[in-house]
């Protein structure tokens, strides 16, 4: 069972400059919450309570203002600074001490997931004992993503941004790994971009026939908020769902309460912390 998770919230966010010159992308709002709440909620829905957030050097204090240590959520959050982006697998090298001898989940800080059967899928994924698992989702522009060719949930091949069509199943930014991930990551050589590539890491598992896939069903959504356009699309999506259905996506306190990690008293503390806002009004509603 995976009990630890990493959120990779570093990176320069250059595609969203000049917005990201002063504020880290993951702290910008997706509708009524900072973007970081959404990947954090995915780990919490997976019943993961021990979380490492990797941030850029010099941005630690910004994060600690909004999520100090996780105590109010009944979870444990630790931070680690990254002096410069070196590719996704660097998260496992940086987080080696945190991972220790455990299996690990990793989610990219700018990825948004939503779906009715999402929680059940996540709870299946964390059961992984050996190998690695990726989450796939159908896209209409596979040439913009790393994609996978799949047969019986086993991955036959993976390719980064293929020019010719091989599959429309994109590899999303949510991964589940066994403990070998640290030694595999350490053996990777930087690519032409001078970064360690997640595709190379996944290929090490594929070579050993230990790479499997899970799918976000037709009713589910995966959005990568890497560009201004995608960022606002995601914001509009959240706004539409929340205003139509009356519940909040990625309400961290609500997830904690449902998981029995906190009591009503913690929610009252959160209401005090957030002050008089719509989010606080929603928190009042869930405990009344």
148-168 in b/e form (b: 16+ CB < 10 A) is bebeeeebeebbeebeeeebe
H/E segment holding residue 121: helix 118-125
pLDDT grade for 154, boundaries at 50, 70 and 90: confident
Per the domain annotation, does 242 fall within a domain?
Answer: yes
pTM: 0.96
Do residues 105 and 174 touch, judged by C-beta distance below 8 A? yes
Q: Give the Cα separation of 65 and 32 in Å (integer).
A: 17
pLDDT for position 193:
87
pLDDT grade for 15, boundaries at 50, 70 and 90: confident
pLDDT tens-digit series, residues 177-211: 999 999 999 999 999 989 999 999 999 999 999 99
Q: What is the sign, positive or negative, of the torsion defined by CA atoms of 176, 135, 76, 45?
A: negative
Per the domain annotation, does 222 fall within a domain?
Answer: yes
Percent above pLDDT 70 for the chain: 100
H/E segment holding residue 122: helix 118-125
Overall average pLDDT of the 87-98 stretch: 96
Percent above pLDDT 90 for the chain: 84
| Structural domain that includes position 41 | 4-250
H/E segment holding residue 270: helix 264-274
DSSP-derived pairing of the beta strands 76-82 and 33-34 = unpaired
Per the domain annotation, does 36 fall within a domain?
Answer: yes
Residue 214 in this model has a pLDDT that exceeds 90 = yes
Cα-based torsion angle of the residue sequence 279, 281, 282, 287 in order, rounded to the nearest 10 degrees: 130
**Which phi and psi angles does 184 have, rounded to 5°?**
-65, -45
Per the domain annotation, does 151 fall within a domain?
Answer: yes
Per the domain annotation, does 184 fall within a domain?
Answer: yes
Do residues 147 and 248 touch, judged by C-beta distance below 8 A? no
pLDDT for position 84:
87
How many domains does the chain fold into?
A: 1
Per the domain annotation, does 286 fall within a domain?
Answer: no
Per the domain annotation, does 144 fall within a domain?
Answer: yes
- Secondary structure E strands in the chain: 4-8, 29-30, 33-34, 50-56, 76-82, 104-108, 111-114, 132-138, 146-151, 154-160, 169-177, 211-215, 221-224
Residue 46 in this model has a pLDDT that exceeds 90 = yes
CATH number at residue 245: 3.90.550.10
* Residue of 182, 129, 141, 184 whose CA lies nearest to 165: 141
Per the domain annotation, does 282 fall within a domain?
Answer: no
- 3-state DSSP call for residue 254? helix
């Amino acid at each position: 069972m995976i009990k630890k998770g990493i959120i990779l919230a570093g990176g320069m966010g250059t595609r969203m400059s000049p917005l990201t010159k002063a504020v880290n992308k993951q702290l910008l709002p997706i509708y009524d919450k900072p973007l970081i709440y959404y990947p954090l909620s995915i780990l919490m829905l997976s019943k993961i309570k021990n979380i490492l957030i990797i941030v850029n050097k010099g941005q630690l204090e910004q994060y600690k203002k909004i999520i100090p240590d996780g105590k109010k959520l009944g979870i444990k959050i630790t931070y680690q600074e990254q002096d410069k982006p070196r590719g996704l697998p660097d998260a496992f090298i940086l987080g080696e001490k945190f991972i220790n001898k455990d299996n690990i989940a990793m989610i990219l800080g700018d990825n948004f997931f939503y779906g009715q059967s999402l929680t059940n899928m996540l709870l299946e994924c964390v059961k992984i004992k050996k190998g690695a698992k990726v989450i796939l989702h159908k896209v209409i522009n596979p040439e913009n993503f790393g994609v996978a060719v799949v047969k019986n949930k086993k991955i036959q091949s993976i390719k980064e941004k293929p020019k010719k069509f091989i599959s429309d199943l994109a590899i999303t930014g949510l991964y589940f790994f066994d403990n070998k991930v640290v030694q595999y990551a350490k053996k990777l050589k930087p690519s032409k971009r001078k970064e360690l590539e997640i595709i190379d890491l996944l290929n090490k598992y594929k070579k050993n026939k230990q790479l499997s896939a899970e799918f976000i069903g037709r009713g589910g959504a995966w959005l990568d908020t890497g560009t201004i356009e995608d960022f606002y699309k995601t914001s509009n999506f959240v706004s539409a769902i929340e205003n139509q259905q009356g519940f909040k996506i990625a309400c961290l306190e609500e997830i904690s309460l449902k998981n029995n990690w906190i009591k009503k008293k913690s929610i009252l503390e959160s209401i005090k912390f957030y002050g008089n806002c719509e989010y606080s009004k929603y928190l009042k509603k869930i405990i009344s």
